[in-house]
Structure 1
Amino acid sequence: MRLDKYLKTARILKRREAAKELALQGRVHVNGKAAKPSQEVKEGDLLRLEFGARILEIRILEIKKQVSKQNASLLFEVVKEERIEEKD
């Protein structure tokens, strides 16, 4: 499945366009390498997303084309979540 579509399906980001923009800005890495929105992801891949002052690392557990809102969080596990302190 494409990276941008997975991020939307798993409800990590609300829109596929937002996932595309994040990847194009170089703020999404798959297994340690910068990723394009069209990169194929698979179960077991480690994703690192940088949202401003927040970094989220997740591992893909399952890939589905459609999933309910309640079950979306079952598609991945959060490996690490951190906030970066802003300097004054």
Structure 2
Amino acid sequence: MRLDKFLKVSRVIKRRSVAKEVADKGRVSINGRPAKSGSDVVEGDEITIAFGNKDLTIRVDQIMDTTKKDQAQEMFTVVDETFKD
């Protein structure tokens, strides 16, 4: 699954256009390597996202094409959440 679609379906980022923009600006990495919006995401990958005031690292547990709100949390596990000063 594409990175931008995974971020949207899992509800880590609410809109796919925003997920694409964040990834293409170099603020997302998969397994420690910079990733673009079209990068493939597979189960077991660790995704790190640099938001404005925090860095969020998640592990991909499941890949689903569509989800309901309560199912979205099953797609990933938060590994680390670091807030910046």
Report the TM-score range of the alignment, normalised by the length of the smaller protein: over 0.9
Deviating above 2 A after TM superposition, structure 1's stretches of 4 or more consecutive aligned residues are none
Q: Max radius of gyration: which structure?
A: 1
Alignment coverage as a number of residue pairs: 85
Higher relative helix content? 2
How far apart, in 2, do the equivalents of 1:11 and 1:64 lie? 12
- Identical-residue share of aligned pairs (%): 45
1:48-87 maps to which residues of 2 (within 5 A)? 48-85=48-85
How far apart, in 2, do the equivalents of 1:53 and 1:65 lie? 29
Task: Output the aligned Cα RMSD.
Answer: 0.5
Which runs of 5 or more structure 2 residues have no equivalent in the other structure?
A: none
Which runs of 5 or more structure 1 residues have no equivalent in the other structure?
A: none
Normalized against structure 1, the TM-score is what?
0.95
Deviation at residue 53 of structure 1 after TM alignment: 1.4
Normalized against structure 2, the TM-score is what?
0.98
